[in-house]
Amino acid sequence: MTASTLPSIYDFTATDIDGKPVSLSTYRNSVLLIVNTASQCGFTPQYQGLQALQDKYASQGFVVLGFPCNQFGQQEPGSTSEIQSFCERRFGVTFPLFQKIDVNGQNAHPLYKYLTKAAPGIFGTEAVKWNFTKFLVDRAGNVVKRYSSLTKPEDIEKAIQTLLQAQSAVLK
């Protein structure tokens, strides 16, 4: 990537829950929902809705990417193995989970620095306000929309369907 080239979602790498680096280019041509998660949050039951979307649309090229974060109320204090076990046992999570990261501040993961610039929140603020903020990304790697923690996964379903249908025709 040259200095004059703007990064894309596919230029980033994140470490998966098992400690392996994963290039986001792995998800090229997929519709993505990138979410900062936490196991001890009032929004934690959204894992169920996220998994339902993953189950329903994975065969069409949709992937949820979960990024545990402990920056909001210390609601993700567990170790990597505790997080993974909790998500699998409690919610049957099969979508990709990554290592715990920061989403705000000096130590924010570069992916989240990119996402928050590409899709600022209300009143143009870039900072992620709480757990379960969601970023919808199209098959070309464009950040389409940012959703707050209050937005339930099922409320994003129509937008996901639209991206999957519109862009599947382009890929054929």
Which residues belong to the active site?
41
Q: Which candidate, 119, 104, 106, 129, places its Cα nearest to that of 43?
A: 129
Instruction: Specify whether the CB–CB gap between 114 and 103 falls below 8 A.
Output: no
- Give the single-character DSSP code of 130: S
Question: Two tokens at 147?
Answer: 């959703």
Q: Find the farthest-apart pair of alpha carbons in the chain and give their distance in angstroms, rounded.
A: 46
Amino acid type, 97: L
Rounded distance, CA 93 to CA 102, Å? 21
Secondary structure E strands in 46-133: 62-68
